Amino acid sequence: MSSIVAIVGRPNVGKSTFFNRLIQRRDAIVDSVSGVTRDRNYGKSEWNGREFSVIDTGGYVKGSDDVFEGEIRRQVSLAIDEADAIIFVVDVEEGITPMDAEVARLLRKETKPIFVAVNKVDSSKRMDDTFEFYNLGLGEIFPIAGMSGSGTGDLLDAVVAAL
């Protein structure tokens, strides 16, 4: 079975944009993955000659912040169970929100490789704002722009090296 990379984070940070850039083909449902739920998208990707499955989480999450919070916790724990590596996406335009801090708290307990992708770094002047995300306490951060693909190569180099 190929390795699984899960993309987690609160709504609107750009998870699906990055996922859509990453995947070459979208699998309806992957049977071999346990605990498959309909609120996640599965796809196949390849980088540096390494094939892996990608899970985009939170696809159908709608509602208030309270609803989000329980749902995101559930998504994060599912991702922790299933994935071999986790990409935690945050948004440089918003900075660290309370929900980001909560997700980081859950992820810090884990031994699986975690990669912090600071998304929406569309210009070099945004770069200065990325450093605050070191305060999440999850190690190295990767500035990316999921929309243009900028920075995603360095992130994927690190992710596949950890698989």
- Closer to Mg ion by CB, 16 or 45: give it: 16
Cα dist. 100→10, 63, 89, 90 in Å? Answer: 7, 18, 9, 7
**Interaction between residue 15 and ligand GDP (CB under 6 A):** yes
Q: Which stretch binds ligand GDP (CB under 6 A): 26-34, 62-70, 74-82, 117-125?
A: 117-125
| Residue 126 marked in a binding site | no
Phi-psi region of 129 (alpha: psi -120 to 50; beta: other; left: phi over 0): alpha
Per the annotation, does 11 bind a ligand? yes
Least distance from ligand GDP to the Cβ atom of residue 111, Å:
25
| The only residue of 10, 16, 22, 89 in contact with Mg ion, by rule CB under 5 A | 16
Report if residue 145 touches ligand GDP, rule: CB under 6 A.
yes
57 binds Mg ion (CB under 5 A): no
Closest CA to 34 of 76, 92, 95, 79: 79
What DSSP line would sit under 29-56, residue for residue? Answer: --TTSTT--TT-EEEEEEETTEEEEEEE
Q: Looking at residues 17 to 76 of the shown chain, list those that interact with ligand GDP (rule: CB under 6 A).
A: 17
Minimum distance, C-beta of residue 125 to ligand GDP, in the bound complex (Å): 13
Sign of CA pseudo-dihedral 145, 105, 55, 62: negative
Helix (H, G, I), strand (E, B) or coil at 23: coil
Footprint of ligand GDP on this chain (CB under 6 A)? 9, 11-17, 119-120, 122, 145-147
